Amino acid sequence: MPKLDIVILAAGLGKRMHSELPKVLHNLANRPLLSYVLDTASALSPQRICVIYGHGGELVPKVINNDKVTWVKQELQLGTGHALMQALPYLDKEGITLVLYGDVPLIQIETLEKLIAMTAETSLILLTAELNQPSGYGRIGRNAKTNEITFIIEEKDATIIQQEIREINTGIMAISNKYLYNWLGQLKNSNAQGEYYLTDIVTMAAKANVKINAIQPEHVWEVLGVNSKAQLAALERIYQNNFANRLMEQGVILIDPSRIDIRGQLNCGTDVTIDINCIFEGLVQLGDFVIVGAHSILKNVKVAANTIIAPFSLIEESEIGENCRIGPYARIRPGTELANEVHIGNFVEIKNSSFSAGSKANHLSYIGDTVAGKNVNIGAGTITCNYNGASKHQTVIEDDVFIGSGTQLIAPVKLAKGSTIGAGSTITRDTPLNQLTLSRTKQISVPGWKRPAKK
C-alpha cells in the first residue's frame, strides 16, 4: 500500500448558507460538519491530515481544536486547485493524496477504503455518482468509444449537451503525489468563475496517458454536500434515518423511525422502546426493557433495566436505576443519582441529589443538593430551600422519612430516620428519630366575619 496523506478542503465561503458562521462549522446532529470528515479521515490512519481553511479565519481551527491536524490557511479562496496547492509543502513526495471536502460529511469509511485500495503510485481515481438531478455539479466527460474519463467540466462552463451528462464529480479523489506537484503548478484560471479548478488535472492526466478510474459510492447520500440550509436539513434527516435503521436492526422498537433525533451516541439493551419525538444527546445508555415516552429529552444519561420514562421528561447528566418510574413531565438536572425502584412524578425538579432505593417524589416538588435515603416519601409541593442568596446548602433525608405536602426544608438541615413532617411545615432545624415534627401555625376561625361586598 502506498503512503497516504489526506487533504480536506474547507476554506470556501459558503455564500448560499447566508450566515456569519463558516460553512464547515454548521452543525449536523449537534456537531460541526468538518468534525465528521475529520473522524472519517482519522479512521483511515493516514500519515497526515491537512485541513485547508480560510473563510471565517481562525474560528475554524479554534472550534475544531484538533492539534493532530495540520491546519493550512488559504488566504484567498481562488478555487479547489489553489486550495490543494496550499497543502503541497506538507505532502509526501511519494505516496498518494486523498482529497475530501469539509462540507460533505456523510462519506463512509468503506467507500474511501475502496478508493484508496485502487490507487497505485501511478493513477488518478475519482469518486463519481449518477444523479437524476445533476445540476450544480461538475460533469464527468468520457470518451464515447473507450468510455475512459477524459475531462471534468464545471456546470458553469458546460455546453447544453454536456449539461445532459448525469455522471457527476463528487469532488472526492485520490491522486499519486508525484503527479500532483507537476499538475497543480500548471493550473490556469481561464474559466467562467476565474478560479483554479482542481478538476482540470483530469485533462492533464488524460493527456499524459495516466490511468484515470472512477468508482461509485454504495449510497448517493454519502457524497451529498451542504451548500444551503435546506441541504443541511436534508442531510440531518438522512443521518437520523440511518441511525434509526441501525437501532431497529439491533432490535430497538421505534414507534416512528422518522421522529427520533440522536445527537451523539445512543446505546440500547434488548427490547428497548422509544416513542415519538424523543431527543438523545451526548452519551445515552438505556438498559434492557427501558421505555422512553414521547417527547422526552435525555442528555448524557444512563438508565438501568426496566425503567419507564413517561412522556415529556427532560433528564440531563444523571444516572437512573432499575425499575424506576420517571415523569410524565419530570425534570432531572445534572448530578442526580436515583437508585432502583425510585418514583419521580409530574412537575418534580431534582438537581444534584441522590435517592436510595424505593424513594418517591410523585408531584410538584423541587429537590436540590439533597441526599435521600431508602423508602423516603416526599409529599406534593415539597421544596428544599437550598440557596440563601450566597451559597448552596445540603438537605439530608434519612431512610423511611415521610414528608407531608407543602413543606419547606431550609438547608442545611437533616431529617433523622423515620421522621414524619406534618404538611405545610417550614423545617429550619434537624428533626429527631421517628417523631412527628411540624411547624404549622394554629388554625383559627373568626366568628361574625363578613366578606367585603361591592357597593
* CA–CA separation, 113 and 307 (whole Å): 42
Options 46, 56, 61, 79; binder of ligand UD1; rule CB under 6 A: 79
- 140: which residues sit within 8 A by CB, 6+ positions away? 126, 128, 149, 152, 165, 167, 168, 169, 214
**Side chain identity at residue 268, one-letter code:** C
**What are the CA-CA distances from residue 124 to residues 169, 189, 201, 203 (Å)?**
13, 21, 9, 11
Binding residues among 58-77 for ligand UD1 as defined by CB under 6 A = 74, 77
User: Nearest distance from residue 136's CB to Ca ion, in Å?
Assistant: 7
Options 6, 64, 78, 348; binder of ligand UD1; rule CB under 6 A: 78
* CA–CA separation, 202 and 153 (whole Å): 10
Options 32, 46, 56, 102; binder of ligand UD1; rule CB under 6 A: 102
User: Nearest distance from residue 240's CB to ligand UD1, in Å?
Assistant: 22
Options 225, 287, 321, 368; binder of Ca ion; rule CB under 5 A: 225
- Mask: binding to ligand UD1, 169-208, rule CB under 6 A, as x and -? xxx-------------------------xxx---------
What distance lies between CA 93 and its chain's CA centroid?
A: 37
Measured in residues, the chain has a length of: 455
For residue 82, the partner it binds in ligand UD1, Ca ion, none, with Cβ less than 5 to 8 A by kind, is: ligand UD1
Q: Which is nearer to Ca ion, 9 or 427 (CB)?
A: 9
* CA–CA separation, 170 and 152 (whole Å): 11
* CA–CA separation, 137 and 149 (whole Å): 16
Q: Which residue has the cell 489553489?
A: 82
What is the CB neighbour count within 10 angstroms for residue 137?
Answer: 22
Catalytic choice (18, 295, 363, 393): 363
Q: Does 83 bind ligand UD1 (CB under 6 A)?
A: yes
For residue 154, the partner it binds in ligand UD1, Ca ion, none, with Cβ less than 5 to 8 A by kind, is: ligand UD1
Q: Does 22 bind Ca ion (CB under 5 A)?
A: no
Options 7, 48, 103, 332; binder of ligand UD1; rule CB under 6 A: 103
Cell of 2: 502506498
* CA–CA separation, 213 and 115 (whole Å): 10
User: Nearest distance from residue 79's CB to ligand UD1, in Å?
Assistant: 5
Residue number of the CB closest to ligand UD1 reads 138
User: Nearest distance from residue 213's CB to ligand UD1, in Å?
Assistant: 17
DSSP code at position 1: -
Q: Does 151 bind ligand UD1 (CB under 6 A)?
A: no
Q: Does 168 bind ligand UD1 (CB under 6 A)?
A: yes
Options 33, 127, 152, 202; binder of ligand UD1; rule CB under 6 A: 152
- 347: which residues sit within 8 A by CB, 6+ positions away? 329, 330, 363, 364, 365
Catalytic annotation present for 26:
no
Report DSSP letters for 324-351, one per residue: -EE-SS-EE-TTEEE-TT-EEEEEEEEE
User: Nearest distance from residue 335's CB to ligand UD1, in Å?
Assistant: 41
**Side chain identity at residue 203, one-letter code:** T
Give kind and range of the element (H or E) at residue 309.
strand 308-309
User: Nearest distance from residue 60's CB to ligand UD1, in Å?
Assistant: 10
Binding site for Ca ion (CB under 5 A): 225
**Which amino acids are annotated catalytic?**
363
Binding site for ligand UD1 (CB under 6 A): 9-12, 52, 74, 77-80, 82-83, 101-103, 137-138, 152, 154, 168-171, 197-199, 225
